[in-house]
């Protein structure tokens, strides 16, 4: 019995050590998540305190003809002698809310989404703090400034969607007229809210493509040759992704697809720098 105990004791100790190590990593992850959630809730609370700015100015902005994107586009049209760029505006759209608690629900959701967007750099930093100890010193040096780059791409995607894709999409859908004046658009608030949400957050996430390609190339999953070989296939995939996060109109789909194709080409350049032939 003592022989068996001496034989299996080291194995049991090793298993116990692995279990303790796993639990410690899990506990560490939990605190990173807790701090991230607290940051999101704090920013969400600030956004919740200013409902007029959150809704009237920001969320409902693209549905109003005074929105800055419409003004700049119209000025550009005048400079280029292209009056068609002054998009036709419909009458003031009256959104409807069929649910009793609808406005409260969307106020809370909008505040949480605003909190996530504002807290994104901190959340990315918490993720980086959790991953960093598992990297070698050389790898840490190679990806210095990763949090800044990730945050920049996210805010670039969010801004591109909010100031370009959303207003053009909203204008197209709200002014589309197939039956003349006999039918007036009175969309549900939920429809408008989900459209803006999907475009803004979806574009912000998809703009992280260079980061995903960087890590995939770093671990040898994809290579520059692979990305070049399947460039034509990537166009199809990008168009499908653009169709998923945009409403069913071709203009919005193309507007999302163009920067994604540019980011794909940038990803190929990044893969060339980090990929090592096996």
8 A C-beta contact, residue 205 and residue 241: no
pLDDT, tens only, 17-65 = 555 466 677 778 888 899 999 999 999 999 999 999 998 889 988 888 7
Strand partners of residue 96: 188
8 A C-beta contact, residue 209 and residue 257: no
pLDDT band at 93 (very low <50, low <70, confident <90, very high): low
pLDDT, tens only, 133-156 = 766 676 666 666 788 989 999 999
Answer whether residue 89 shows pLDDT above 80. Answer: no
140 Cβ contact partners less than 8 Å away, ≥ 6 residues apart: 132
pLDDT for the residue numbered 182: 63
How far is residue 203 from each of residues 165, 170, 180, 184, 260, measured CA to CA in Å? Answer: 9, 16, 33, 30, 9
Residues 76-95: what's their mean pLDDT? 69
**Phi, psi dihedrals of residue 248, rounded to the nearest 5°:** -75, 65
CB atoms within 10 A of CB 109: 14
Q: How far apart are CA 31 and CA 107, in angstroms?
A: 28
Q: How far apart are CA 276 and CA 272, in angstroms?
A: 8
pLDDT, tens only, 97-138 = 888 888 898 899 999 999 999 999 999 999 888 877 766 676
Residues 162-181: what's their mean pLDDT? 78
């Amino acid at each position: 019995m003592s022989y068996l105990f001496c034989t299996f004791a080291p194995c049991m100790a090793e298993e116990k050590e692995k279990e303790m190590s796993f639990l410690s990593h899990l506990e560490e992850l939990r605190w990173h998540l807790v701090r991230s959630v607290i940051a999101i809730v704090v920013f969400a609370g600030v956004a919740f305190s200013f409902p007029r700015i959150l809704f009237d100015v920001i969320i409902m902005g693209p549905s109003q003809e005074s929105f800055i994107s419409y003004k700049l586009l119209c000025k550009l049209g005048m400079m280029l002698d292209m009056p068609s760029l002054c998009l036709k505006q419909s009458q003031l759209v009256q959104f409807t809310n069929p649910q009793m608690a609808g406005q409260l629900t969307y106020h809370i959701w909008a505040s949480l989404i605003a909190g996530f967007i504002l807290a994104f750099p901190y959340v990315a930093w918490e993720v980086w703090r959790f991953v960093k100890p598992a990297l070698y010193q050389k790898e840490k040096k190679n990806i210095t400034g990763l949090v800044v780059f990730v945050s920049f791409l996210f805010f670039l995607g969010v801004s591109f969607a909010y100031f370009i894709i959303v207003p053009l999409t909203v204008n197209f859908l709200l002014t589309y007229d197939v039956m003349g004046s006999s039918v007036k658009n009175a969309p549900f608030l939920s429809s408008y809210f989900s459209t803006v949400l999907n475009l803004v957050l979806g574009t912000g996430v998809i703009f992280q493509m260079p980061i995903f390609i960087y890590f995939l190339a770093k671990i040898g999953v994809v290579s520059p040759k692979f990305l070049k070989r399947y460039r034509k296939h990537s166009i199809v995939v990008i168009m499908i992704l653009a169709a998923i996060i945009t409403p069913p109109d071709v203009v919005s789909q193309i507007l999302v697809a163009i920067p994604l194709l540019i980011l794909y080409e940038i990803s190929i350049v990044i893969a060339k720098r980090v990929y090592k032939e096996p």
